[in-house]
Amino acid sequence: MTTTSGAAGVDTRPFAPFEWLLARRYLRARRKEGFISVIAGFSFIGIMLGVATLIIVMAVMNGFRSELIQKILGVNGHVIVYRVADPFTDYDEATARLSQVPGVRAVLPLIEGQTMISSSAVTLGGLVRGVSEGALRQMPLVADNVRFGSLDGFDNSESLAIGIRLANMLRVTAGDAITLVSPRGAATPFGTAPRIKRYAISAIFELGMSEYDKAMIFMPLKEAQRYFSRPEQVDVIEVLLNEPEKVGDILVPLQAAGGPTLSFTDWRKRNETFFTVLEVERNVMFIILSLIVLVAALNIISGLMMLVKDKGRDIAILRTMGATKGAMMRVFLITGASIGIVGTIAGLILGVVFCWNIEGIRQLVQRITGTTLMDPTVYYLSRMPAEINVRETTAIVIMALVLSVLATLYPSWRASRLDPVEALRYE
């Protein structure tokens, strides 16, 4: 038999229509309850902004990591191979052996050296990498981002490919000439004379990472061997993989193919400190911003407690008409949970839309304020990256929903425990 009293025919099943009706009315602002509605509004805004901020920050951190990995792996090898003791002269044989390992995309012998770079305007330091034209073609980050000039005929010329920021600082463009000065030149009776040679610029590239764009210089491998006095030898061999993230699985076959005279190190070990710090910062930001969502959930508690106190007379009347303790608890549970759920959904939408348009927003803020946000010289990247991880975003939404529902339990329980006699005594 359905329990009714006073209001005959009222459905008292859990989450019955009248419970939703009451919850909806309690959420609507009226003159008498204006302050309570304001608190509910602040709780909604707090949940929305907390969820949106958490999604945006985590997306930006993910974007930073992905962009940095892409830039670093786009220029540097996934596995670096060194000769243990003797000069690396048999690099052709080692290249052939390593190329046969499954999962290897390319094997690139190269020479590295630091030089002074001089133009008619300024003198700077830079890193010279001696590579073949074919090796540069295997680096899409370089080959696909040539802004001026061309890489055609790179092997057969005494020319260089330099970064766009370096070109701007030297005030040169494609076709101009610059001078390279190496302190390790030819030996003379009076000591080692610096090696000085002038080269034309055949290509200017833009990698989007300021650290590389302002210091990286590519030179034909044969010319680099002559310039650095390393005939028929290289410094290292860089191995490019089809799946860089799975470098640990392919490292053992590479070592077996290379032999005991070669030493191997992968990109994770070379950048371990950098990415460890990035991961620590990411975790700390998640914890700190999660506290914002927690504080917003606590606002729901305070708002509901005030609502329960304000609605004491209504609760008492409903109880005398046959409403159960569970019904009263569910009414306020729906009220508080609605704030949290709607706020979480609004925060999700706001966060996703912000991430999709984050670069445009950054440029707009720069134009309005006249300042430079995310200076490439400091943050290495020339654009604001944002990469939304579905699993991570789902976890954020679930966390916000759980906190919102938990925040409603105590006020709802207090409403269910209200004594009708005490509530109506002074009415």
Sketch the domain layout of the chain as residue ranges: 17-68+275-424, 86-260
What is residue 214's three-state secondary structure?
coil
- Cβ 72 vs Cβ 267: under 8 Å: yes
In one-letter notation, the amino acid at residue 345 is I
pLDDT at 36: 59
| Confidence class for position 1, pLDDT limits 50, 70, 90 | very low
CA–CA dist 354, 348 (Å, integer): 10
CA–CA dist 39, 150 (Å, integer): 63
pTM: 0.70
pLDDT cut 70: percent of the chain above it: 84
Which pair of tokens denotes residue 31?
């003159």
CA–CA dist 31, 48 (Å, integer): 25
Spell out a b/e string for 205-223, using b for 16 or more CB atoms within 10 Å of the CB, else e. bbbbbbbbbbbbbbbbbbb
Cite the DSSP H helix spans in 9-33.
17-27
The two beta strands, 216-220 and 123-131, are: parallel
* Residue 348 clears pLDDT 90, i.e. is over it: yes
| Burial of 424 (C-beta count, 10 Å sphere; 0-12/13-18/19+) | middle
Q: What are phi and psi of 113, to 5 degrees?
A: -165, 150
pLDDT at 92: 86
- Residue-wise pLDDT for 116-171, tens only, equals 898 887 888 888 999 988 888 888 888 888 888 888 888 888 889 998 889 999 99
* Average pLDDT of every residue of the chain: 80
pLDDT at 4: 39
- Cβ 216 vs Cβ 165: under 8 Å: no
CA–CA dist 365, 361 (Å, integer): 6
- Cβ 51 vs Cβ 351: under 8 Å: yes
Closest CA to 267 of 243, 284, 298: 243
Average pLDDT over residues 325-334: 78
Which pair of tokens denotes residue 150?
């061309």
CA–CA dist 235, 340 (Å, integer): 60
